[in-house]
Amino acid sequence: MFGRPLWVILLLLLVASLVWWRVPADDGQLSRTALVMGTLVEIKAFDDEKDKLDSAISAAFAEMTRLENLLSRHNPRSEISQLSAAAGPFTVSQETAELLQLGQSIARRSDGAFDLTLGALKKLWAIESDSPQIPTAAQLQSALSGIGPDALTLEGLQVQKQQPGLQVDLGGIAKGYAVDRALNVLRQAGIRSAAVNAGGDIALLGDRQGQPWRIGIQHPRKNGEVLVTLPLTDCAVVTSGDYERFFERDGSRYHHIFDPRTGRPARLTQSVTVVAKDAASADALATAAFVLGPQAGLQLLEDLPDVEGLLVGADGRLFRTSGLRRGD
């Protein structure tokens, strides 16, 4: 190199510096985390322009926080809290109406295994609090009275509760919906490759630098161990398990996914993973299949177009829908 004229060396240095500036750190990937909806959310995206990535990810987090304020039962001013408090018909926003509609359609499709009206039951068990409790049979009966797919009716934006005291809880679907909306914000900002992960509710935009995203599914009984790795592109993958939020008493595990028929934690399943086009549907379907267990749960997923799933039964056996069965 030292034999070359000075201007050639300067030109090479100039070209090298231009290339350096055009390739952002870590191969164009930016990853950020934030606490939203009581969950650690990670957004990872790829683009050559770091500023664009940074502002798109900020906007995606802002969208999730906006939805938390709209849909959380932990926030007394949210639309969902106001709906739960309302004695008569209540008018909701277009997007809340659409989410309730989706939830109700999955509630019907799953014969009520997915249920948006379990708010009173959830409060009773208080599994996510510092002082969870095992309710009495009488308390369970009272919390279950009048719940189910017919307990809420929607006409346009107007929601009618069949009982004034009915408590709505979107804990089994709203996180997935928020993940979808966050991904949409990234898409609209011109990002072509991204992943939004809210504690196991994952939406994927495009692929990962020409390769499928490789999504590791957590083993429900071996902490930190991957059960199965799924290569996926441009879709959503959501896992519901009994190992994230639970307490143990007298050797029994009490977790946060309830069987609406008994009011107690569903007992047939350890975890369900659903792959679908959108995370809101995948979220609700994973909760529904968890309650239904290996037979009816897998059948529910198998019967739906563009939906696949894998389920770990209470005895640890792994079941897959036909689209996820390996050829071996």
Stretch that binds ligand FAD, among 23-31, 180-188, 211-219, 256-264 (CB under 6 A): 256-264
By CB under 6 A, tell whether 42 contacts ligand FAD. no
Q: How far is the CB of 80 from ligand FAD (least distance, A)?
A: 8
By CB under 6 A, tell whether 122 contacts ligand FAD. yes
For the chain, the farthest-separated pair of C-alpha atoms sits apart, in whole angstroms, at 92
Residues 6+ apart with CB under 8 A from 185: 56, 59, 60, 63
Of 135-174, binders to ligand FAD (CB under 6 A) are 169-172, 174
Q: Which is nearer to ligand FAD, 47 or 115 (CB)?
A: 115
Residues 6+ apart with CB under 8 A from 207: 193, 213, 233, 234
The one-letter amino acid at 268 = L
By CB under 6 A, tell whether 279 contacts ligand FAD. no
Q: Which is nearer to ligand FAD, 193 or 270 (CB)?
A: 270
Q: How far is the CB of 94 from ligand FAD (least distance, A)?
A: 17
By CB under 6 A, tell whether 242 contacts ligand FAD. no
H helix or E strand, kind and range, residue 104: helix 94-109
Number of neighbouring beta carbons within 10 Å of residue 247:
18
Q: How far is the CB of 164 from Mg ion (least distance, A)?
A: 27
Q: Kindly state the tokens that stand for 302.
A: 């198998």
Q: How far is the CB of 114 from Mg ion (least distance, A)?
A: 8
| Strand, coil or helix: 291 | helix
By CB under 6 A, tell whether 255 contacts ligand FAD. no
Among 103, 148, 172, 313, indicate the residue that binds Mg ion (CB under 5 A).
Answer: 172
Q: Which is nearer to ligand FAD, 44 or 256 (CB)?
A: 256
Stretch that binds Mg ion, among 1-9, 17-25, 144-152, 282-290 (CB under 5 A): 282-290
Q: Which is nearer to Mg ion, 286 or 291 (CB)?
A: 286
Q: Which is nearer to ligand FAD, 122 or 161 (CB)?
A: 122
Residues 6+ apart with CB under 8 A from 259: 113, 265, 266, 267, 291
Q: How far apart are CA 328 and CA 310, in angstroms?
A: 16
3-state secondary structure 190-223: CCCEEEEEECCEEEEECCECCECEEEEEECCCCC
**Binding-residue pattern over the window 174 to 213 for ligand FAD, x denoting contact by CB under 6 A:** xx------------------------xx------------
Contact 160, 174 (CB under 8 A): no
By CB under 6 A, tell whether 96 contacts ligand FAD. no
Beta bridge partners of 318: 312
Beta strand extents in 15-106 (DSSP E only): 29-36, 39-46, 90-91
Stretch that binds ligand FAD, among 3-11, 58-66, 113-121, 159-167 (CB under 6 A): 113-121
Number of neighbouring beta carbons within 10 Å of residue 15:
10
Q: Point out which residues bind Mg ion (CB under 5 A).
A: 172, 240, 283, 286-287
Q: Point out which residues bind ligand FAD (CB under 6 A).
A: 37-38, 68, 71-72, 74, 114-115, 118, 122, 128, 169-172, 174-175, 200-201, 240, 244-245, 256-258, 260, 283, 286-287, 291
